[in-house]
Amino acid sequence: MTNGHPTRDEDFDLLALGALDGEEKQALEAHVASCADCARKLAQARGRVALLALGAPQKAPSPAVKQRLMAQIRGAASEPPAPAHASGSRVPLPSSATRWWNAMLLVGGVALAALTIFLWHENRDLARQVGALHASLVQQQHAMHEASEVAELVTSQGTVTVPLAQQPGAPAGAAHVMYNKKMGMLMYEGEIQPAPASKSYQLWVVPENGKPISAGVFNPVEGRPDHWMMKLPEGVDAKSFAVTLEPAGGMPHPTGPTILAGSIS
């Protein structure tokens, strides 16, 4: 140590690892207690040692290891105590080879910890990419399924096309419904002027028996046609379709004026 300061920066790492002992350890600890700069370096060294722990795989010791350890402890307890050093004698300090080996272990451990953190980030990014690919695959499968249903509905011999005519005084618009009684499916396609503020359009299925059934609430955008498919409840036999103007979000039964309407011929 020069002017009380350590001459080797690795001494801080060795102290943090517990590799120093004797007078050298006591001198460095005493100096750190009164030197803010060296205390900061020791704190940084302890941080690097903490990172080292992240890179070490956790594994529980086997029972055999525990038995050997306890046997060594019992054997050490039965041995006579080592003779004390004579007054004024120096405690042997670690050799240069020991210092070099401890420093190499520290460097390797820090490198392993850095690699572990890097791989953790890489795995996290990879997991995000896999999640995005999975979501895209699900979306594509849904689109393919919908396209298959559209193709089946359009090409089926039992499908009828019902034009929905604009009603007197209603906003301009045109639409039609493709309906297949056997499949219990309908598909709406049309374009209407945007609904007034706080209002929505709602498509209704008017069955042969019973009250109208809601088949979708929508808010058109200028120049963008609306299109969707719907599976009707079991046993419903439609006779006509209508679009009404309702409060925003729709209603459980028709309450507003009819905008478009058409019957199955």
* Tokens encoding 91: 């405690």
The answer on 2 and 35 residing in a single domain is yes
Number of folded domains that form the chain: 2
Q: Are residues 114 and 225 in the same domain?
A: no
**Do residues 18 and 146 share a domain?**
yes
Is 79 within the bounds of a domain? Answer: no
For residue 200, the model assigns a pLDDT of: 97
Whether residue 255 is found in the same domain as residue 189: yes
Token output for 96: 């240069």
Asked if residue 240 is part of any domain, the answer here is: yes
- Quick one: which H or E segment has residue 43? helix 36-55
Say if residue 246 is in the same domain as residue 175: yes
Residues 35 and 142 in one domain: yes
So what's the pLDDT on residue 123? 76
The answer on 34 and 150 residing in a single domain is yes
**138 and 198, same domain (yes or no):** no
| Within a domain: 63 | no
Query: What confidence score (pLDDT) does residue 265 get?
Result: 81
In a shared domain, residues 109 and 225: no
Of 137, 155, 173, the position where a domain reaches its end is 155
**Do residue 148 and residue 167 come from a single domain?**
no
Angle, helices 10-17/96-155, rounded to nearest 10 degrees: 80
What is residue 86's predicted lDDT score, i.e. its pLDDT?
A: 47
CATH number, position 224? 2.60.40
pLDDT for position 74: 66
Q: E strand or H helix at 133, and its extent?
A: helix 96-155
Q: Are residues 217 and 117 in the same domain?
A: no
CA distances from 210 to 99, 239, 241 (A): 92, 11, 14
Cα distance between residue 59 and residue 128, in whole Å: 29
Q: Quote the crossing angle between the two packed helices 36-55 and 10-17, to the nearest 10°.
A: 60
Q: Give per-10-residue mean pLDDT for the chain (265 aa).
A: 67 74 81 82 74 56 64 63 51 58 69 74 77 84 81 89 94 94 94 94 95 96 92 92 96 96 92
User: What distances in angstroms separate CA 89 from CA 41, 80, 251, one per listed residue?
Assistant: 31, 21, 97
Q: What per-residue confidence (pLDDT) applies to 136?
A: 83
Domain limits for position 140: 1-54+95-155
**pLDDT digit string, tens, across residues 187-211:** 999 999 999 999 999 999 999 989 9
Task: Determine, yes or no, domain membership for 60.
Answer: no
β-sheet bridge partners, residue 189: 176, 227
